[in-house]
Amino acid sequence: MTSQALNISLPQELVLLIDKQAERDFASRSEYIRRAVVSQLRAEHELQAVFDRANARGSAMNITSEQQVYDIIDE
């Protein structure tokens, strides 16, 4: 996989926290940020998959509104 350098600006306090955690993880700042971004993207992808399955299930049950969901939950 090829890499591309990015320039980003972060508050100094956040940089210090990143550096401390990277040191604890025996990683460079770049590696720590790379892992954090990958983790976040995976989490968002997994959450979207849950929403997609829930929407498909709701459609199969003829649920067309959030209110119907709340009604079912409150039963």
* Residue 42 domain flag: yes
Given pLDDT bands bounded at 50, 70 and 90, which one contains residue 6?
very high
* Residue 5 domain flag: no
63/61 Cα distance (integer angstroms): 5
Number of domains in the chain: 1
What is the reported pLDDT for 1?
81
Within 13 Å, how many C-alpha atoms sit on residue 75's CB side? 6
Q: What is the pLDDT of residues 40-73, one digit of tens each?
A: 999 999 999 999 999 999 999 999 998 998 998 8
* Residue 4 domain flag: no
Percentage of the chain beyond pLDDT 70 is 100
* Residue 1 domain flag: no
Q: Whole domain around residue 62: which residue ranges?
A: 12-73
What is the reported pLDDT for 75?
74
